């Protein structure tokens, strides 16, 4: 039985984090770690009541939250074999986790990306700018790294040792693509699995805002060229 830990970055997701944690198949997961990124709502209480371990990250940024989550599992006596990342806004379907774990457990893959592009999406779940950004980024990765990803999706699983070997750095929106291009550079075994995607609960912070989209888009393209 593989030791699987889950890391969920959270900034003001009180309306959704309880549902996310509730839908995670408990029988296959060891610990759910919610990284609280300076939330000003009740996200922490809701997450704790739902059975998660909550760690605080005082530096804003999606990447910073993920890095804090890794720091937490690094300090554990028993390290996980596999790490799962998903968002706290209930746009991912945690119950689909077994399908993402399968390629690692059965076929020794290193990194499995949940693709919203090849999976089923609720209408309006991914805004046009996010769809375009995804298409542009994955086209550039195919062009310059020679591998076809169809998404930079947040719902993903990776072998713990493989993640450690990537020495992740990005503190904001470049985190997901950094993991994918570094994995390709290192020759890790990567694969995608279709996942469902629905509209987030609560107000959009990134893709629904012009500034969020532009900042994320710039950082993603910059990261693709940084690791060439
Ligand atoms: N935006 C943002 N999200 C953070 C931060 N730290 C943690 N998160 C969490 O990171 C996950 C992804 O952020 P989202 O805001 O959902 O980003 P997105 O899915 O690209 O865009 P929207 O869902 O449209 O806002 C969510 O669980 C957030 O709560 C942060 O500093 N900024
Ligand atoms: Mg979201």
Q: Domains, the chain, ranges and CATH? A: 4-226 (3.90.550.10)
Q: What is the pLDDT of residues 153-171, one digit of tens each?
A: 999 999 999 999 999 999 9
Return d(Cα 114, Cα 147) in angstroms, integer: 16
The model's pTM: 0.96
Q: What DSSP state is assigned to residue 169? A: -
Q: Phi and psi for 145 in degrees, rounded to 5? A: -115, -10
Residue 212 CA, ligand 1 centroid: distance in Å = 10
CA 74 vs. chain centroid, Å, equals 18
**Ligand nearest 61 Cα, by number?**
1
Asked if residue 88 has its Cβ within 6 Å of ligand 1, the reply is yes
* Buried-state track 103-132, b at ≥16 Cβ within 10 A, e below 16: bbbeeebbbbbbbbbebebeeebbbebbee
Contact between residue 45 and residue 13 where contact means Cβ atoms under 8 Å apart: no
Q: What is the pLDDT of residues 115-127, one digit of tens each?
A: 999 999 999 999 8
Return d(Cα 141, Cα 38) in angstroms, integer: 33
Cα 134–138–140 angle (5° rounding)? 120
What pLDDT, on a 0 to 100 scale, did the predictor assign at position 75?
Answer: 98
């Amino acid at each position: 039985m593989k030791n699987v830990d889950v890391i969920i970055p959270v900034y003001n997701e009180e309306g959704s984090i309880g549902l996310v944690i509730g839908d995670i198949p408990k029988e296959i997961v060891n610990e759910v770690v919610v990284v609280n990124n300076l939330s000003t709502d009740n996200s922490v209480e809701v997450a704790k009541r739902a059975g998660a371990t909550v760690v605080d990250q005082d530096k804003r940024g999606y990447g910073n939250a993920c890095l804090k989550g890794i720091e937490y599992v690094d300090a554990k006596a028993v390290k996980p074999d596999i790490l799962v990342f998903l968002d706290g806004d209930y746009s991912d379907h945690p119950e689909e986790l077994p399908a993402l774990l399968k390629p690692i457990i059965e076929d020794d893959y290193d990194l499995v990306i949940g693709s919203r592009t090849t999976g089923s999406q609720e209408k309006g779940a991914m805004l046009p700018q996010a769809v375009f950004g995804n298409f542009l980024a994955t086209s550039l990765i195919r062009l310059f790294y020679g591998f076809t990803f169809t998404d930079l999706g947040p719902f993903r699983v990776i072998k713990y040792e493989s993640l450690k070997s990537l020495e992740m750095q990005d503190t904001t929106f470049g985190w997901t693509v950094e993991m994918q291009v570094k994995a390709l550079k290192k020759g890790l075994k990567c694969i995608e699995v279709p996942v469902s995607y629905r509209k987030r609960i609560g107000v959009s912070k990134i893709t629904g805002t012009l500034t969020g989209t532009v900042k994320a888009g710039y950082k993603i393209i910059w990261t693709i060229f940084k690791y060439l």
